[in-house]
Amino acid sequence: MEIKVTRTTAPLEKPLEAEKAGTLGFGNYFSDHMFLMEYDEGIGWHDARVEPYHNLSIDPAASVLHYGQEIFEGMKAYRTKEDEILFFRPLMNAARWNQSAKRMCMPTMEPEMYMEALQAVVDVDRDWTPHAYGTSLVLRPAMIALEKSLGVHPAKKYLFFIICSPSGAYYKNGMAPVSIYVEEEYIRAAAGGTGYAKCGGNYAGSMLAGEKAEEMGYDQVLWLDGVERKYIEEVGSMNMMFVIDDTIITAPLAGTILPGVTRNSILTLAADAGWKVEERKLSIDEVYQAAHEGRLNEAFGTGTAAVVSPVGKLCWRGEELVINGGKIGPKAQYLFDKLLGIQLGNSEDVYGWTKVCERKY
Ligand code: COI
């Protein structure tokens, strides 16, 4: 694929002070450039380019604005001690991208094309990858439907773009345990719906419950299944894992939760550490019963943004559980260190998960 690169003549100041002060936050700053490419029915993908970061101009009738035909990905690039930039399992994101695209009737992309696009923009903006431990360059590929039409049908025209954000921890308190409200009134997804796709609508639909949880003093919402409102699903921004006795239990990939790249990596690392891992339906009653019997040892979420995020408190039907004394548990800590070690190139990558961003542009 030929990629035209136009460099900015007015580079922005990098948020070095915020990085030093540990106040980068998540998705607050953006790098100098972005990747763009259009798709037209009958032509395919065309006009791949890296340009200075800029506003988009789209027709007010563009279908994304009315019917939400949109998908995105969550990825990160990491700086190693040797100043290489590493991607983490980018081809797994490319595969999920295509799954999301198919579900939303949008054009797919060869994984190599997806990879080349990432390489180009991250290479041009490699200096924007922060240095501090726990920081990264968050990559946000997205695709929107641009057809000027109010008919409800798949568009014939799309824009694919990637923006990059030097970021710190997703939660404002870093790796400190989060508190979670178990939601019973609203649901996130049901079988046959879009739960497994990374589309904006899933996130828009979750915000009301998020606000409700926040008003009650909780950081996040834990979704239960849409039919019985009984089985653990996920936490919107992360997949959930519970350590009951010595076993790590997480919801199965049955079409209603996001197939997390971090979820898959953590299950692999846990199994390779010799721990028992189960992907199965886990009811909220079972979690509470285990807690009452003193067998719920840890709970944590996993996600690209959240990495491994311990859950210190859970609230269901007015009963608040404090998990592991509200502290980070040993399994969560081990898995966090192990995963970040690989992502930063500090530990040997026996899985072949990382990919160096080539110096080409
Ligand atoms: C990620 O984990 O990178 C995501 O895309 C979740 C996001 C909605 C914060």
- What would the pLDDT profile of 207-234 be if each residue is shown by its tens digit? 999 999 999 999 999 999 999 999 999 9
Asked if residue 99 lies in contact with residue 197, where contact means CB atoms within 8 angstroms, the answer is yes
Mutate which of 304, 308, 309, 339 to test ligand 1's pocket (most atoms within 8 Å of Cβ)? 304
- pLDDT tens digits for range 293-307: 999 999 999 999 999
- pLDDT tens digits for range 136-158: 999 999 999 999 999 999 999 99
Q: Where are the beta strands (DSSP E) in the chain?
A: 4-5, 33-40, 44-52, 70-72, 75-79, 85-88, 136-145, 157-167, 178-183, 220-223, 239-244, 247-250, 276-279, 296-303, 307-316, 319-322, 354-356
Answer yes or no: is pLDDT of 174 > 80. no
What's the 13 CA to ligand 1 centre distance in angstroms? 25
Mutate which of 97, 170, 178 to test ligand 1's pocket (most atoms within 8 Å of Cβ)? 170
pTM over 0.75: yes
Asked if residue 50 lies in contact with residue 118, where contact means CB atoms within 8 angstroms, the answer is no
Ligand 1 atom 7, closest CA:
237
Asked if residue 234 lies in contact with residue 61, where contact means CB atoms within 8 angstroms, the answer is no
Ligand 1 atom 6, closest CA:
237
In degrees and rounded to multiples of 5, residue 130 shows phi and psi of -70, 165
What's the 303 CA to ligand 1 centre distance in angstroms? 7
Task: Identify the band that residue 334 occupies on the pLDDT scale cut at 50, 70 and 90.
Answer: very high
Ligand 1 closest atom vs CA 262: 2
Q: What is the pLDDT of residue 175?
A: 75
Ligand 1 closest atom vs CA 170: 9
Three-state DSSP class for 34?
A: strand
Q: Which residues line ligand 1 (CB under 6 A)?
A: 74, 203, 237, 303-305
